[in-house]
Structure 1
Amino acid sequence: MTHVVSDADVNTARFTWRENSAMAARMERFVSPGKGNGVRATARIRRGELVYSAEPLASCVSNKQAREVCHHCFTRCKTLLRCSQCKMARYCNTTCQKQAWSGHKTECKCLRSLLPRAPTDSVRLAARIIFALLNPSHSRSGELYPLDEHESHLDSMSEHKRQGLSQLASMLELYLQQEVPHLAQDMTSALPPSCQETLSLIAKVTCNCFTISDGELQEIGVGLYPSLSLLNHDCRPNCVMVFEGTNLQLRAVQDINAGEELTISYIETLVLTDERRKQLEEQYHFICHCQRCDSKDKDSLMLSGDESAWQRLKEALPGLEKLKAESNWEALLESCNHLLSAVGGEVPDENQYKLRLTDMALDASIQLGLWEDALRYGQKTLPVYRQYYPDPHPVHGVQLMRVGKLQHYLEHLQDALETFKQAHQIIKITHSDSHPLTTDLLMKMEECRAEIAQRSSSSR
């Protein structure tokens, strides 16, 4: 099968290039003091503005989402068409399947050669990067930060981590041997010098790839966006990343002046300072000295309450995470209920371990269809989210939307409308007015208004 490029595709590509050229003119690469390379604004950027958007050099759906997400458009679907050859790739319809074939046909042979085993996400992504770079029609000459300059950090890695990456590199070579039999020769002729060794390439991928999420911030895949790998981390960043399919959109959540550095958060920030710093050092090889880390802001609040009581919650978390991973919702909810009742008022809702248990109880209640319980747990989290995720923060906006949907389902219409309004104030900034999540939210608000009006007219 051959994917035919239409005039519409060409026009879209031209528009995207012009759009990104205009956006790129508002940011530039620079040397960030104490951080190395970074990106700064060249003009004033207002809160809510789209700073930059990009398609990945390569991307793939995560293995754990492979049965639920279309491997071409990255949309969640209840039923997907499966590739009859590799049995792994899945598509929402024949159109997506045909459009994906030009890229999938090479990967398909590699996947079949490993059956019944499946390569890891990082191996599949690294292979897709190689396929992209070996493609003569591939060109990304406008990148601020070409792949050749990406850091591998191999010199600063522990021997244990380096050995783990070496195993992934060996898997990559095995995975590619059917389709790229002369791997060393092909990579030498087509790939940038620093990417010609599989170990170096795998290291670059693990240090620089982004998790692709859906509108509700749930992981669906991984991708490499070379220019945006320049962005440095801050535990309270001035930009956030959201996705539409695989298109990454960088949006400002604060007003940014010309000359200011653009930052994002690499990790979940609702953890203690020492834990954040440890994760950043192990995964990204730097020690964070942002204002929040140096002041240890919120640490005392995260550990508020009786220590002997919250230690019980902390110790229980690994077991609870295992139940969640296994989708053992009944056991998870029972355990969360027992633990939360046991600590009672000794541990406030703001304690990070109590919040994590409350969130897990919310997820389990939703999965079990216990809507009243789910709403009760969701409402407990909102004041805490507001403290830990200063507005506008997409995590707070999405949580408000989840609670609003529960209120709407249970016909608490005025409460639902108010919660949706609060969510909209955040989501329109973090996701934009045109994002599918914002459209869905506006529809929910209209449904609430219509039902309130109908109820009011019926009572007359």
Structure 2
Amino acid sequence: MSAKLERFVSPGKGNGLRATAKIKRGEVLFSAEPLACCVANKQVRDVCHHCFIRHKTLLRCSQCKMARYCSITCQKQAWPAHKRECKCLWSLLPRIPTDSVHLALRLIFALLSPSKGSTGVLYTLEEHESHLSSMSEQKRQGLSQLASMLEMYLQQEAPGLAQEMMSALPPSCRDPLSLIAKVTCNCFTISDGELREIGVGLYPSLSLLNHDCRPNCVMVFEGTKLQLRAVRDINPEEELTISYIETLSLTEDRQRQLKDQYHFTCRCQRCDTQDKDELMLFGDKATWRLLKEALPRLERLKAESDWQALFENCRHLLSTVGADIPDENLYKLRMIDMALDASVHLGHWAEAMRYGEKTLPVYRQYYPDPHPVHGVQLMRVGKLKHHLEHVDEALDIFKQAYGILKLTHGDDHPLTTDLLVKMEECRSEIDQQSSSTH
């Protein structure tokens, strides 16, 4: 943990982290590997279960049939952590644990392993809140079912020893229900460089960070390694904050999600002023409601990777209903983004570029720089421009992306190095065009 950070009690929030010295934007404040992590179920076929990098072809564990690896090396390195869960996963096939149960299972094995030290942490798992007392009965029942599933998996690993194993854990982690509650309230979504979800992990000290809908820090992952970076200049004594959720949503929806998932009411400046809500609902309500009502169906098509149907539905809705709604409208913007995804998957590059271009002015309004989401979107549109040989425009967009990503991801992140290569390719092509015309 950086010497520039310290633990403190944040008024109205409980435990928190604050700066002890001046911090400049772009500065790395913390870097850590997880205490435990696992690939998300919906990414299980596409991401290596050891290095967490996407690959088109993966080797499958011959026993549990669930774990997948990009190489023999990754498979061997993963085996010490995987061997205990492998038996649990195999014995209960075709049932597959939820992400939170899988993470809790890995956490138990990590805590029972003497190699997992916890020196230098500011916040231990023992101190993590379960929030069971503030949960609705319905939510407690749902977590109780997950706790029962966790016990069932443990019994497969060591019949009759599950109770003995749990007793070796820290006192507040011995009850399966309390452990599952702690995991669901304190885990982080692990994302790739382009901010797509790939897994979940526990980083105990970073659970001290409180939420703000316009935070002064962001978390970026490289594989499972997490980096906390400042995106604004931070003064001594100022609290460090991150966003727990995707912030491109209405105040009411953000508040509901934070209350349901993390058990608190956000009182940040953005929530108090309901900043951008009016802009997000721009346009005729009766018209944009048709777009809003269509989104769940489109999300299902996306989840099923039915790109052709998604593309046709989005294109039809955007050209008819959406034609009378400004691009700033939240529901239209979500549909444009889905049309962009579908176009890319289908190789419709010209349409993809057209949809991507529509999003950029809107992203600029909704994501104050430097924001990783805006940087990644710029890079995506730049790649489309480059592919379609709009080289000058591509270079300009890549430069804008680099201005953001060098602060949010850093120059050493694979995404930024890829971006720098793309910029060099554009410059080289522009030089060749220039010399051939003289």
TM over 0.5: yes
1:148 to 106, 126, 131: 126
Partner of residue 17, structure 1: none
Q: Secondary structure of 2:181's partner?
A: helix
Q: Secondary structure at the match of 2:156?
A: coil
- Structure 1 distance, partners of 2:246, 2:61, is 35
Secondary structure, aligned partner of 1:177: helix
Structure 1 spans left out of the alignment, 5+ residues? 1-19
Q: 1:186 aligns with which of 158, 161, 165?
A: 165
Secondary structure at the counterpart of residue 212 of structure 1: strand
Of 256, 260, 264 in structure 1, the residue corresponding to residue 238 of structure 2 is 260
| 1:346 shift after superposition | 2.5
Match of 1:101 in 2: 79
Pairwise mapping of residues 34-433 of structure 1 onto structure 2 (< 5 A)? 34-181=12-159, 182-188=161-167, 190-433=168-411
Write the letter of the residue equivalent to 1:52. Answer: F
Per the alignment, residue 432 of structure 2 pairs with: 454
Distance in 1, matches of 2:158 and 2:124, equals 23
TM-score, normalised to structure 2, is 0.99
- Residue 186 of structure 1 deviates from its aligned partner by 2.1
Segments of 4+ in structure 1 off by > 4 A?
none
CA distance in 2, matches of 1:230, 1:36: 9
Give the C-alpha shift of residue 185 in structure 1: 2.0
Query: Matched residue of 1:178: which SS?
Result: helix
Deviation at 1:270, TM superposition (A): 0.6
Residue 393 of structure 1 deviates from its aligned partner by: 0.1
Report the CA distance between 1:345 and its aligned residue.
4.6
Per-residue CA deviation, residues 66-99 of structure 1 (Å, 9 max, x unaligned), is: 1111110111111111111111111111111111
SS in 1 for 2:157: coil
- Once residues 145 and 306 of structure 1 are traced to their aligned partners in structure 2, the CA distance between those partners, rounded to angstroms, is 49
Q: Which deviations, in whole Å up to 9, do the C-alpha atoms of 1:367-392 show, x marking residues without a partner?
A: 11100000000000000000000000
Distance 1:39 1:166 in 2: 32
For 1:185, give the aligned amino acid: E
Gap runs ≥5 in structure 2: none
In the alignment, which residue of structure 2 is the partner of 1:12? none
In 1, Cα distance between equivalents of 2:70 and 2:212: 37
Q: CA deviation at 1:343?
A: 2.7
Contact 2:375 2:402 in 1 (8 A): yes
Q: CA deviation at 1:329?
A: 1.1
Letter of the aligned partner of 2:49 in structure 1? H
Q: CA shift at 1:344, angstroms?
A: 4.5
Q: Aligned partners of 2:305, 2:93: CA distance in 1, in Å?
A: 26
For 1:338 and 1:102, locate their aligned partners in 2 and report how far apart those are by CA, in whole Å. Answer: 51
Find the aligned partners of 1:208 and 1:139 in 2 and give their Cα distance: 19
Contact 2:322-2:332 within 8 A present in 1 as well = no
Alignment TM-score, normalising by the size of structure 1 = 0.94
Question: Amino acid of the residue matched to residue 186 of structure 1?
Answer: M
Match of 1:10 in 2: none
- Looking at structure 2, the residues matched to 49 and 325 of structure 1 have their Cα atoms a distance apart, in angstroms, of 36
Task: Return the letter of the residue paired with 1:37.
Answer: N
Paired residues in the alignment total 437
Instruction: Provide the alpha-carbon RMSD of the alignment.
Output: 0.9
Distance 1:327 1:77 in 2: 17
Q: Distance in 2 between matches of 1:141 and 1:198?
A: 25
1:112-167 Cα shifts (integer Å, max 9, x gaps): 11112111111110011100111123211321110011000001111111111000
> How many Å separate the matches in 2 of 1:291 and 1:219?
28
Query: One-letter code of the match for 1:76?
Result: R
Q: Offset of 1:180 from its aligned partner?
A: 3.3
Q: Is the 8 A contact 2:288 2:322 kept in 1?
A: no
**Identity across matched positions, percent:** 75
